[in-house]
Structure 1
Amino acid sequence: MTFIQVIDCKTDRTDALNRVMDRWIEATQGRRTATHAIVGQDRADSTHLVEIVEFPSYEEAMRNSRLPETDRIFSEMVALCEGEPTFTDLDIMRDDQLNKLAVRRFFEEVINNRNLDAADELCTADYREHDPSLSSYDLTLAQAKSENREVIEAFEPVATIESLTAEGDMVCARVSFKSRHVGTYQGMEATGRDVSGTGHATFRCQGGKLAESWWNVDDLGMLQQIGAVDMP
């Protein structure tokens, strides 16, 4: 279970504190168990800082605290603060990464349920799609739906999200898919052959909807599997 540690302190020596944190990051490279750290400064009181550090689990956080560099850097941090920092340990009860949820819903409803019209709700009105396998690398939502309809009807794909990575308003999906060539695709009649492959898609989210996407799917592998392309 993800574990969060919140460190609350007061100091007017923020530059010096930043240098201390930089030294800890450098000194613990390859051994620290912390995966994400954020430092926030109180708008109402510039001397009030809050650091939020994320760990895979409480046990990993305890391993991190036992590193000699952690103890040494903490002593340096205390020397820069007004009084001793306070710690709050949090077990995560909920972690709603909303942009990831929007991407998962797109794959489930539009691709796996083959409901292209669901994209009207899931995407912004000015959505743009970039995919080298389509007629243009910059398609509107209506154009993307029209061109992707042929792919979905010809192969009836089922996509599995292998991993999702989110940063800011961007979400990157690593996917695998299984399908069967059951309809005409680019003039080639159905072969009934099973097709599988992998791909990546990156989405830009806006207001809980998908505003832009970039796709990279193994189209060559798909064409080989249905016999449209011969490879030496």
Structure 2
Amino acid sequence: MLIETVFRSEDVPAADRFECYRELMNRAYAPMELSSGHAPDFRAHQRLIGLGAVSVWPGEFEPLLLRRTPKLIRQSDPEVYQLTLVLKGSGKHSLGRQETICDAYEFHSNDSSRPSETRTGQGRTRIIGVEFPKTQLPLPRSRADQVIGRHMSAQDGIGALLAQFLIQLTRDTGQYTPDDGPRLGTVAIDLTAALFSHTFGADTSLAPEAHRRTLTCASKHSSSSTCTTPPSPRVR
């Protein structure tokens, strides 16, 4: 099976749960300030799946406020992009002066090099996060940077294809081997690049090889072992 780390808040004493979760998130992404009104007895379930250079982390947690400040960026910047598929709940994401309201079956994106703030809504939030080095994305950096923070639907087109891929991938990692990880990571990056290009309205900005891989995945997603997905995403 794929290399996977699992955090369950019930496995940790109540007084230590939020601090353990904060440390996990800082290791998984980049140093952040986390706060929550539920910190005294925080409940969360987080998985971290390694796919070569790509990390995928499905999770469910109580209301959170996450801040990536200029000071933290100066201290440490892994130079990564982050894409988050919201499966349950909602939130507000601020990137500089740009604000985005993100509801279920929408994506929001982030850049470790830019100050940001994410506030989740009331109730538990369920997500699948994807993170990868900026250098891995087969798009001009200027194009990718203009997409970060913009609204992207996961209910149709390329967004739905990427959402279904992530849901299928995280549903049961036991059916894959560690050698499958980097290949699945490549699929995730190529579909993300296709989504970014579609959002920007510049499909031709994809590198030719990545464009061919994306078209192949899209045409075969109903039968390929790495692209097989349920007919439509559903919150379980």
User: Same fold by TM-score, threshold 0.5 exceeded?
Assistant: no
Higher share of residues assigned helix: 2
Higher share of residues assigned strand: 1
- Band the TM-score falls in, shorter-chain normalisation: under 0.3
TM-score (norm 1): 0.23
